[in-house]
Structure 1
Amino acid sequence: MWEQVRSRAEDRLGDPIWWNDVLQLTKTVLAAVVAWVVAASVLDLSQPFLAPWSALLVVHATVYRTFAKGAQQVAATVVAVLLATAVGETLGLTTPSIAILLVVALVLGAVPWLGAEATAIATTGLVVLTTGFEDDVLLVARLLDTAIGVVVGLGVNLLVWPPLRRRTAVEAMDRIDDRIGELLTDMAGGLGDGCQDEDVAGWIDRTRDLDGDLDRAWGMVRQAQESARMNPRRQARAMRDPRDLHELLRRMEQAVAETRSLARTLGGQSAHRETWGEDFATPWLAMLDDAGRAAREADPELLRDVRRRLSGLSEDMRATERSAEWPVYGALIINLRNIVDAMDRVAEANPLGGQRLPVRLPTLLPTRLPVGLPRRTRARG
């Protein structure tokens, strides 16, 4: 049990995506705490709650978004304070005034630039209206609170390891080519053992899961591209136009689509290996397994070897007597050839090379020794 827990913990601790999330959480908490200390202890503002609140809302996954959200947050707070003051001076603190304030604040949310801050305008205005709108000093203090939170959030996100999401995006992509390889090897093993219709359905479902993984990877690449904007780190320059990552994702999309097509072709056959004949089944299944292993291990040479062997198989089958299975042979050869052609560049790029953060936890129990060793020998071991 401990070994399983330790293995899972090491997987998580060695995952750069998880560490990015931890770093972002830490920076968010740090920004909120620093904003509170500056507003409450350094400047001694009477109601400094808006400072950590603004800092929490401002710290985002990228420096660019932090700047953009910071500007929106400042604008939203100014609008909220002015709106609450106008409503309070006109109607006072009454139930109708609260209703009018909320309606107007949410209507202002229809403005495209302030749309994401509609709730912030409403809540900030509500706080200002209910806690005091007649004191000009208090209103200025609230604006100062917000400015402190925004400035601290910007500073923390910019100066404390400004996020560059390239490693996160590439790690997500690296997991996809591993899963494509695992699926291909599982298909080769299942076909060799004699698969059933439910096996084929399971393979098709796994390609749909891969589609979801690809969508998430595209989102991470876009976030990585955004993270390079206004980022002072030297590595950010290469991520401002990540054409190489876009090409790799398109190739993996093609590989997944071809794998789904391959599975559907197999689903039309009731007895795969027996129907094909050994002259086609044995070499083709071996090539399918090798292609999956090469994709999983990022071995471009093995993928090119599979490509050459596929061409040889096609020539050999063309020289033999025609059979009723020729359309199936052609479809399977073309599908596998397209998968190999798509994945060879992915294997060449191999963005992370399977490297993970070198985190290891201590073992709780000693390694089991062979039965029959003397107790004293075990103690020394």
Structure 2
Amino acid sequence: MSMRLRERVDERLGDPIWWNDVLQLAKTVLAAVAAWVVASSVLDVPQPFLAPWAALLVVHATVYRTFSKGTQQVAATVVAVLLATAVGETLGLSTTAITVLLVVALVLGSVPWLGAEATTIATTGLVVLTTGFDDDVMLISRLYDTAIGVGVGLLVNVIVWPPLRRRTAAQALDRIDDGIGELLLDMAAGLRDAAPDEDVAAWIDRTRDLDEDLDQAWALVRVAQESARMNPRRSARPMKNPKEWLGLLRRMEQAVAETRSLARTLGGQQAHRATWGEAFAVPWISMLRDTGQAASDADPAALLDVRRRLEEFSEDLRSTDRSPEWPIYGALIINLRNIVDAMGEVADANPIGGNRLPIRIPQRRA
């Protein structure tokens, strides 16, 4: 195995989010197989195909969604069984019966209470209609199958390591603060080399990308919060009201907005380094670079040091400099100060995502 492939495999093996997805997949398979075994071998239900089908429907990414969304899907399955039986008893198994079934199923699926489960009603109804609807015993059997699958799916998802989406959201937050730090470092490097307007436009576009990452992180935190509801795990309690994470997201939103404002100021006609003078450009660009490095390293002490240097620098300029570029100086200093303050709180909270799992491919001894 090549070194690069080994590193990629080791990275995946040590990723707790990947293992969380693997566990969820295994639980889904376990629920479906267990429902089949219970229905076919233990309870001896004839044609027990609806049991694993219902189990698959109710195993969701969170326990809360298992109950809320699963209830809608189970209701849709029951409606489909009853609809298929009624259509079959009235029209038999024919093209007309299938057409009527699909039309009615899609209409019922648009009812808000069923949660837009049109596909579930249609597919389940088709299976029931084409595999048997002859008598009341068969109808009861179909509903019995569904109940078995629902019960097994709920038990598996709640009892077997109930999902907690904390690490997924934490990784998203970690990725954003790294992205902010990398952008600040690139801006500092570009300014040292007299960045052209194309670089400034690229910096602004990267802040928009960070905004998209923030939107995704907000969504993931909400999923993590939902995953803590009705979750019996002790580690789920702090996630029921993740005030700290919500505060960090707001701070990173502020840092991204300030970085965009800073980039727009740098792109102005009066903001080129040649017009600043080296007395301002050299120390300010150095502090911008150190801010990016401290944000990437999640180093609150380094950010605090930049804050101190920035205050001293501002005081020195106020007492000695009479440059006409003062409006630009003030805007750049305020933007950088706000970024430092926002990222300082983020750095204090690190590490957000916890440690990687100590799982690696065994090394072959010589």
Into which bin does the TM-score normalised by the smaller protein fall?
over 0.9
3-state secondary structure, aligned to 2:116: helix
Deviation (angstroms), 1:146: 1.5
CA distance in 1, matches of 2:271, 2:329: 14
Segment drifting more, 156-165 vs 323-332: 323-332
Deviation (angstroms), 1:73: 2.5
Amino acid at match of 2:22: V
CA distance in 2, matches of 1:14, 1:201: 37
Match of 2:256 in 1: 256
For residues 340-379 of structure 1, the aligned pairs below 5 Å read 340-352=340-352, 355-362=355-362
Amino acid at match of 1:308: R
Amino acid at match of 2:247: E
Amino acid at match of 1:87: V
Deviation (angstroms), 1:362: 4.5
Does structure 2 retain, via aligned residues, the 8 Å contact 1:16–1:171?
Answer: no
CA distance in 1, matches of 2:36, 2:3: 43
Identity %: 75
CA distance in 1, matches of 2:240, 2:271: 51
Residue 147 of structure 1 pairs with residue 162 of structure 2: no
Match of 1:229 in 2: 229
CA distance in 2, matches of 1:340, 1:188: 15
Match of 2:188 in 1: 188
Segment drifting more, 278-287 vs 87-96: 87-96
Does structure 1 retain, via aligned residues, the 8 Å contact 2:110–2:117?
Answer: no
Amino acid at match of 1:214: L
Deviation (angstroms), 1:161: 0.7
Does structure 2 retain, via aligned residues, the 8 Å contact 1:50–1:146?
Answer: yes
Match of 1:379 in 2: none
Q: CA RMSD in A?
A: 2.1
Match of 1:40 in 2: 40
3-state secondary structure, aligned to 2:151: helix
3-state secondary structure, aligned to 1:255: helix
CA distance in 2, matches of 1:29, 1:354: 29
Deviation (angstroms), 1:160: 1.0
Match of 2:218 in 1: 218
For residues 85-104 of structure 1, the aligned pairs below 5 Å read 85-104=85-104
3-state secondary structure, aligned to 2:229: coil
Which sections of structure 2, spanning at least 5 residues, go unmatched?
none
Please give the TM-score of this superposition, normalised by the length of structure 2.
0.94
Deviation string 1:3-43 (CA, Å, 9 cap, x unpaired) is 22222222222222222212211111111121222222222
Deviation (angstroms), 1:353: 6.8
For residues 92-241 of structure 1, the aligned pairs below 5 Å read 92-241=92-241
Segment drifting more, 239-248 vs 272-281: 272-281
Deviation (angstroms), 1:348: 0.9
Does structure 1 retain, via aligned residues, the 8 Å contact 2:72–2:115?
Answer: no
Does structure 1 retain, via aligned residues, the 8 Å contact 2:170–2:353?
Answer: no
Does structure 2 retain, via aligned residues, the 8 Å contact 1:299–1:347?
Answer: yes
CA distance in 2, matches of 1:251, 1:351: 16
Match of 1:82 in 2: 82
CA distance in 2, matches of 1:309, 1:45: 76
Does structure 2 retain, via aligned residues, the 8 Å contact 1:80–1:122?
Answer: yes
Amino acid at match of 2:241: D
Match of 2:19 in 1: 19
Residue 325 of structure 1 pairs with residue 358 of structure 2: no
CA distance in 1, matches of 2:7, 2:208: 28
Does structure 1 retain, via aligned residues, the 8 Å contact 2:270–2:328?
Answer: no
Deviation (angstroms), 1:254: 0.9
Does structure 1 retain, via aligned residues, the 8 Å contact 2:109–2:118?
Answer: yes
Amino acid at match of 2:125: G
CA distance in 2, matches of 1:299, 1:214: 21
Match of 2:49 in 1: 49
CA distance in 2, matches of 1:4, 1:196: 36
CA distance in 2, matches of 1:292, 1:278: 21
3-state secondary structure, aligned to 1:163: coil
Segment drifting more, 58-67 vs 139-148: 139-148
Aligned residues: 366
Match of 1:371 in 2: none
Change in Cα spacing, 1:271 to 1:73, as seen in structure 2 (3 Å) is: closer
Deviation (angstroms), 1:233: 0.9
Please give the TM-score of this superposition, normalised by the length of structure 1.
0.90
Amino acid at match of 2:217: A
Segment drifting more, 156-165 vs 36-45: 36-45
Does structure 2 retain, via aligned residues, the 8 Å contact 1:50–1:145?
Answer: yes
